[in-house]
Amino acid sequence: MSSSPAPHNDRTDAAAFPPGEGSPLQSPLRFLPGVGSARAALLEKLDLRTVDDVLWRLPRDVLDLTQVKSPVDLVEGELQTVRGVVAESDSRETRRGTLTAALLDCGDDFVRALWFNAPWMRQKMQPGSRWLFSGKPKKKDGRWEFSHPRLQQLGEEDDDAHGGVVTRYGLTEGLRLHEMKRVVHAALEQGGEYVSDPLPAPFASANSLIALTTAVRQVHEPRSMAEYESARRRLLFDDLLEFQVGVALRRRLWGRRSNPPVLPVTAKIDARIRRLFPFPFTNGQNAAIRDIITDLQSGRAMHRLLQADVGAGKTVVAIYAMLVAIAAQHQAVLMAPTELLAMQHWRTIDGFLEGSRVRRALLTGSLTDSKRRDVRERLAAGELDLVIGTQAVIQEGVNFAKLGVAVIDEQHKFGVAQRSRFAGQSSMAPHVLVMTATPIPRSLCLTQFGDLDLTSVTDLPPGRQKIVTSRVTAPTSRRKAWEFIRGRLQQGRQLYVVCPLIEGDEATGRAGAAHVFEQLQQSELAGVRLGLVHGQLDRDDRDERMEQFRHGELQGIVATTVIEVGVDVPNATLMVVLDAERFGLSQLHQLRGRIGRGSHQGYCFLFSESNAPDAVARLSALEATSSGFEIAEKDFELRGPGDVLGTRQHGELPLRSADLVRDRDLLEETRTAAMQLVESGEIDTAEFAPLKLIVLDRFAELMDLPRTG
Ligand code: ADP
Ligand code: MG
């Protein structure tokens, strides 16, 4: 990858220092009173380095003790809360079952709590433990009684003599709550007054936001839940707004920077392209193509994300877009994340283009130097129309004479910077179509891909059958599964066996693909022609085996997730995933997509011995649904963004306080506000200069935004 900055990205020296550098907000935590380097190291484990970091770290939760009543003030039948220490507890058998009772010392009086048939409560109600009881009390024999109250256990440190709202923070081993609170307090003392509000007052009030300086204080030391909630909203809003303004600026830049070619699609061109395919397009493909045609003729550069379920036929849409460019005497490029995928696309596209005059080449890292040089020269001279490759296509030295359309497959493996690299490739910015392997949850679309227009294809080519998916746990079921598979293999179908090849496992041989391969050949799949494919294998060997598999010389492939994306062998209809609980939902769905590609019924067996609730939840979700859109949302809820995208690096969003799952609504709200600020040009006015500075400071690099203009 070229490391020289693209021309649009030069930064003036004046802007090279982030605003506020040297301010008390940027001060390292070890300089705070009472912190020191040992505690600073603990705080660093929580990603807290500066005063500012602490101020923006929201409490993990809060306890509302403002409404806590003293027993003498309780009234019958209303929902109320008391706080106290368990004085004694006991259980006894009655005619109605076990009755557990606890006596809570609330300071000036006692209350009683009762539970029927919940003997474990005895264990929880240890004398000396501190609790909040909430419920509707009744007076019995002169004492207030709570039946099955809602409970919240308090630590010693939560014991706040004057009630109020108690904040609690995420902690780490060696750092206790009261210590964390001292740090927060010190940070407020030290930095609180230096927090400046980047938002103009009218904008803040139009969005029901309190002042930032107030919010920073109130979120950590609220006097009421209302104070806490409004403060929290303000911090989350700013966090997400800044992110979304960055995304909106990025989006504007796509439009501005480019002087894209206008690529017409006549009826004749359309018919000529469609004739290349042996099938009619699906409604979803047609709709996507309509979006793309509009973009290509708009005079604005296309920046579109095409999301579709596995097997929906994105490649066809990509080919269409590229051929439109070529028909208009422009070049087209398709970039895939791996060699395997690039090869596969090459094969597919080469097949469709058989007999056409499109001048095409494959460009990957494994070409010989002289071959690579040849492709580059022909590209630069305009003697090639179409190139398919890996990241080699955006490497330094690759220049297109007249690039019209660039397609990026499996975008989640690439970042924004790589996307924008295409723009620097050619005097004209090309139209860019980005494709994802599986659907992406909406909140990630709004962030990671928020600068792109979105097209979703929700239907599949006709004749596809739902893949029968079963979670296999018991040894007997496993034997039956293998038996079933042998039967299908005899009928001519083909099989993938997927192993989670985890570093170290391979060394010990445990559950590693190589080991499994040996074992299967000796037992369950004796006599079956099997091949082994994994990432550490020599590329030639790997390609050769995939080739043998494609031609049916091999009946089965034992593999790691190298087969995860894109591999297309329609006769392969059987899949076994070993240790399936080790994979994420979206990843499993993607894997399963490998066997839903032909007309025969597909069967996917998820082998797993795990009883962990989240593993069971994930695997059951796969049994139940075949919609990648549903699965993406579910996965996101269960595991968060990093894992959904499969790579922590690109998945981690640099948000300070917000959580994409929890704060979805606010995400939508801030997106609307950010788009409006940028589209109206308000973001470029003096009033919003402080906001823009923060945005650039946080996101210029990540989003490849210029510091000026
Ligand atoms: P993905 O969206 O997962 O990349 P592909 O583009 O690889 O899907 O397409 C999956 C399979 O469906 C391929 O074998 C392709 O030839 C086939 N296909 C694509 N579109 C159609 C269609 N309209 N009718 C029938 N088969 C199609
Ligand atoms: Mg594909």
Could you give the CA distance from residue 423 to residue 436 in angstroms, rounded to a whole number? 20
pTM of the predicted model over 0.75: no
Type of residue at 246: G
Strand-by-strand arrangement of the 360-363 sheet: 360-363, 386-389, 331-335, 403-408, 431-435, 303-308, 453-457
68 secondary structure, DSSP code? B
- Nearest Cα to Cα of residue 412 among 618, 568, 264, 584: 584
Q: Do 106 and 33 meet the contact criterion of CB atoms below 8 Å apart?
A: no
Q: What is the mean pLDDT of residues 308-329?
A: 94
Residue 312 alpha carbon, nearest atom of ligand 1: 2
pLDDT of amino acid 49: 93
Q: What is the mean pLDDT of residues 295-314?
A: 89
381 secondary structure, DSSP code? T
Q: Do 561 and 588 meet the contact criterion of CB atoms below 8 Å apart?
A: no
Going from N- to C-terminal start, the domains of the chain cover 1-59+171-196, 67-158, 267-457, 468-625
308 CB within 6 A, ligand 1? yes
What is the CA(313)–ligand 2 centre distance, in A?
Answer: 7
Alpha helices in 20-111 (DSSP H): 36-45, 51-56
Q: 257: pLDDT confidence band, cut at 50, 70 and 90? A: low
Q: Does domain 267-457 have CATH number 3.30.70.1710?
A: no
Could you give the CA distance from residue 432 to residue 407 in angstroms, rounded to a whole number? 6
What is the CA(587)–ligand 2 centre distance, in A?
Answer: 14
Both tokens assigned to 361: 């080449």
DSSP 132-155: EEEE--EEETTEEEEES-EEEEE-
Q: What is the mean pLDDT of residues 36-45?
A: 93
Could you give the CA distance from residue 214 to residue 222 in angstroms, rounded to a whole number? 10
Q: Do 67-158 and 267-457 fold alike per CATH?
A: no
pLDDT of amino acid 2: 38
Both tokens assigned to 46: 């929580």
220 CB within 6 A, ligand 1? no
pLDDT of amino acid 424: 56
568 CB within 6 A, ligand 1? yes
Could you give the CA distance from residue 273 to residue 13 in angstroms, rounded to a whole number? 51
Asked if residue 690 has pLDDT above 90, the reply is yes
Residue 570 alpha carbon, nearest atom of ligand 1: 14
Residue nearest ligand 1's atom 16 by CA: 313
pLDDT of amino acid 108: 84
Residue nearest ligand 1's atom 27 by CA: 461
What is the CA(437)–ligand 1 centre distance, in A?
Answer: 13
Which range, 16-20, 174-178, 199-203, 341-345, has the best average confidence (pLDDT)? 199-203
316 CB within 6 A, ligand 1? yes
Lowest-pLDDT choice from 18-27, 388-397, 409-418, 594-603: 409-418
142: left (phi over 0), alpha (psi -120 to 50) or beta: left
Could you give the CA distance from residue 476 to residue 481 in angstroms, rounded to a whole number? 9
pLDDT of amino acid 417: 63
- The number of the ligand nearest the C-alpha atom of 337 reads 2
Mutation probe of ligand 1 site: the residue of 273, 274, 277, 279 with most atoms within 8 A of C-beta: 279
pLDDT of amino acid 639: 65
At the second CATH level, the architecture of 67-158 is Beta Barrel (2.40)
Residue 597 alpha carbon, nearest atom of ligand 1: 11
Q: How many CB atoms lie within 10 A of CB 387?
A: 26
Q: 445: pLDDT confidence band, cut at 50, 70 and 90? A: confident
Both tokens assigned to 11: 């930064």
Round the average pLDDT of the chain to a whole number and report it: 85
Asked if residue 308 has pLDDT above 80, the reply is yes
pLDDT of amino acid 620: 92
SS3 state at 81: strand
Asked if residue 682 has pLDDT above 50, the reply is yes
Mutation probe of ligand 1 site: the residue of 597, 600, 626 with most atoms within 8 A of C-beta: 597
Both tokens assigned to 426: 């050619």
Both tokens assigned to 45: 């484990």
Residue nearest ligand 1's atom 9 by CA: 313
Question: Higher-confidence residue: 263 or 564?
Answer: 263
Asked if residue 479 has pLDDT above 90, the reply is yes
Residue nearest ligand 1's atom 19 by CA: 313
What is the CA(301)–ligand 1 centre distance, in A?
Answer: 26
Q: 214: pLDDT confidence band, cut at 50, 70 and 90? A: very high
pLDDT of amino acid 428: 58
Q: What does the pLDDT look like over 649-670, one tens digit per residue?
A: 334 567 888 887 788 889 989 9
342 membership: H or E segment, kind and range: helix 339-352
Strand partners, 406: 333, 432
Q: Do 313 and 442 meet the contact criterion of CB atoms below 8 Å apart?
A: no
Asked if residue 605 has pLDDT above 90, the reply is yes
pLDDT of amino acid 527: 93
pLDDT of amino acid 709: 52
281 CB within 6 A, ligand 1? yes
Could you give the CA distance from residue 498 to residue 486 in angstroms, rounded to a whole number? 16
Residue nearest ligand 1's atom 25 by CA: 461
Q: What does the pLDDT look like over 345-379, one tens digit per residue?
A: 999 999 999 988 999 999 998 889 999 999 999 99
Q: How many CB atoms lie within 10 A of CB 391?
A: 19
120 CB within 6 A, ligand 1? no
Q: How many CB atoms lie within 10 A of CB 176?
A: 12
Q: What is the mean pLDDT of residues 434-438?
A: 83
- The number of the ligand nearest the C-alpha atom of 590 reads 1
Q: What is the mean pLDDT of residues 154-171?
A: 72
- The number of the ligand nearest the C-alpha atom of 284 reads 1
Strand partners, 694: none
- The number of the ligand nearest the C-alpha atom of 316 reads 1
Q: How many CB atoms lie within 10 A of CB 6?
A: 16
Could you give the CA distance from residue 616 to residue 543 in angstroms, rounded to a whole number? 35
Asked if residue 271 has pLDDT above 70, the reply is yes
pLDDT of amino acid 159: 56
Residue nearest ligand 1's atom 13 by CA: 313
628 CB within 6 A, ligand 1? no
Strand partners, 363: 389
The contacts of residue 393 (CB under 8 Å, 6+ apart) are 333, 335, 363, 387
Residue nearest ligand 1's atom 20 by CA: 313
Q: What is the mean pLDDT of residues 478-488?
A: 96
Largest distance between two CA atoms of the chain: 97
pLDDT of amino acid 14: 32
Residue nearest ligand 1's atom 4 by CA: 314
Q: 447: pLDDT confidence band, cut at 50, 70 and 90? A: confident
What is the CA(101)–ligand 1 centre distance, in A?
Answer: 65
CATH number attached to the domain at 1-59+171-196: 1.10.150
pLDDT of amino acid 600: 86
Q: What does the pLDDT look like over 92-102, one tens digit per residue?
A: 998 888 899 99
- Nearest Cα to Cα of residue 115 among 106, 107, 125: 125
What is the CA(312)–ligand 2 centre distance, in A?
Answer: 8
Lowest-pLDDT choice from 265-274, 584-593, 700-709: 700-709
What is the CA(486)–ligand 1 centre distance, in A?
Answer: 28
- Strand segments, DSSP code E, in 170-310 are 303-308
Strand partners, 532: 558
Residue 308 alpha carbon, nearest atom of ligand 1: 2
Q: What does the pLDDT look like over 513-570, one tens digit per residue?
A: 888 898 999 999 999 999 998 877 777 888 888 889 999 999 999 988 766 555 678 8
Question: Cα angle at 562 between 561 and 566, to 5 degrees?
Answer: 105
Residue 648, exposed/middle/buried by CB under 10 A (0-12, 13-18, 19+)?
exposed
Query: Which residue is listed with tokens 């994802």?
Result: 436
Residue 317 alpha carbon, nearest atom of ligand 1: 6
600 CB within 6 A, ligand 1? no
Could you give the CA distance from residue 319 to residue 352 in angstroms, rounded to a whole number? 9
pLDDT of amino acid 612: 85
DSSP 603-653: EEEEE-----HHHHHHHHHHHH---HHHHHHHHHHHH-HHHHTT-HHHH--
Could you give the CA distance from residue 590 to residue 472 in angstroms, rounded to a whole number? 19
For 279-296, letters b (16+ CB in 10 Å) and e give eebbebbebbbebbbebb
What is the CA(41)–ligand 1 centre distance, in A?
Answer: 52
Could you give the CA distance from residue 320 to residue 130 in angstroms, rounded to a whole number? 67
Neighbours of ion ligand 2 (CB under 5 A): 566
Mutation probe of ligand 1 site: the residue of 274, 334, 345, 568 with most atoms within 8 A of C-beta: 568
What is the CA(358)–ligand 1 centre distance, in A?
Answer: 21
Asked if residue 111 has pLDDT above 50, the reply is yes
What is the CA(565)–ligand 2 centre distance, in A?
Answer: 7
511 secondary structure, DSSP code? S
pLDDT of amino acid 521: 93
Q: What does the pLDDT look like over 44-74, one tens digit per residue?
A: 999 899 999 999 999 988 877 777 888 999 9
468-625 CATH pick, 1.10.10.10, 3.40.630.30, 3.40.50.300, 3.30.43.10: 3.40.50.300
Asked if residue 117 has pLDDT above 60, the reply is yes
pLDDT of amino acid 158: 60
pLDDT of amino acid 504: 45
Question: Higher-confidence residue: 414 or 19?
Answer: 414
- The number of the ligand nearest the C-alpha atom of 593 reads 1
Sign of the dihedral through C-alpha 261, 262, 265, 266: negative
Q: How many residues does the chain have?
A: 709
436 CB within 6 A, ligand 1? no
Q: Do 1 and 391 meet the contact criterion of CB atoms below 8 Å apart?
A: yes
Could you give the CA distance from residue 331 to residue 321 in angstroms, rounded to a whole number? 11
Residue nearest ligand 1's atom 5 by CA: 313
pLDDT of amino acid 419: 66
pLDDT of amino acid 43: 95
Q: What is the mean pLDDT of residues 283-293?
A: 96
456 CB within 6 A, ligand 1? no
Q: How many CB atoms lie within 10 A of CB 702?
A: 16
Q: What is the mean pLDDT of residues 143-171?
A: 78
